[in-house]
Each structure stands twice: as structure tokens, then as C-alpha cells.
Amino acid sequence: MDVRLLLENTLPGLGYELVDFEMTQGGGYRVFMDKPGGITVEDCVQVSNHLTRLFMVENVNYERLEVSSPGLDRPLKKEADFVRFAGQLAKIKTRMPVEQQKKFAGRLAGVEDGAVKLEVDGGRIVAIALTNIDKARLEPEF
């Protein structure tokens, strides 16, 4: 059973977005979810209870299940994430250098032609191909 696919098909029906999914050492699963307005403890309890029953029905074996919010520094994985969080600060690490560097910090300026636009250094726009992004996270502003 493909647990990621099961989560991708289940969480939207409950009103949540699957942000990330990890397998932990010892045979556990860690599920990060989000929804507009953020995640509460009650959301985590509801989804955990639902997934426990679903995994039992689907014969998914696991030792531990963790369900949580992605946090303020949530990972950006899909093109839709970069569009949704346009205007917010982010850190991006690329697989291959762009303009002789692999680490960028700036304000997300949307997506165009398969590339994330990032405003860095007070206005300069850097275009980073989605396929070249190794890791990307929001940078919390206080």
C-alpha cells in the first residue's frame, strides 16, 4: 500500500492539505498537514483518529503515527505552495548553482514558466527552476 497516495487521497476530503510525509526509524509515520487559518491540536487529534482507523482497514502496519502542523517555517514542495505564499519570506536551496550560488533568501514573487521568482537584495529578481529546487521553506516574520 502506498501510504503517501492514501494520505493524498484522504486528507483533502477532511479539509486538509498534505504538506509532507516521512517514514521514521522503527516503522512509524510522520504526517504534516495544513489548512487555511492554520492547524489546531483538535485538528491533529481528529486526523490521527481517522488515519488510525483507515490504516487498520487498509492493513497499513506502523509502530507510531505523528500528525502535526508543518510549523511557521513550513516546507514548500509544490508549485501551488510558491503561488499561495507569494509575498512571504523564504529560503531556497538549489541542486545546481544559479548565478554562482545555491542558497537564497528573499521574498517570494510568484511562479512563471516553471520557475519560482524570488526577490533578493532589495528588489533584484532571481528565477529558480522548480526542478532545480532541493529544499525550500518559509522564513517566519515577527
Q: Is the pTM of this model over 0.85?
A: no
Residue 73 belongs to a domain: no
pLDDT tens across 14-46, in order? Answer: 999 999 999 999 889 999 999 989 999 999 999
- Please state the φ and ψ torsions of residue 4, each to the nearest 5 degrees: -60, -45
Q: Which domain holds residue 39?
A: 3-68
Q: Are residues 51 and 92 in the same domain?
A: no
Q: Are residues 86 and 132 in the same domain?
A: yes
Nearest Cα residue to 128 out of 137, 118, 138: 118
pLDDT tens across 99-139, in order? 999 999 999 999 999 999 999 987 899 999 999 999 999 99
First to last CA, the chain: 42
Strand partners, 129: 115
Give me the number of domains the chain comprises: 2
CA distances from 38 to 35, 49, 70 (A): 5, 19, 9
The domain spanning residue 122 has which CATH number? 2.30.30.180
Any idea what the CATH number is for the domain that residue 26 is in?
A: 3.30.300
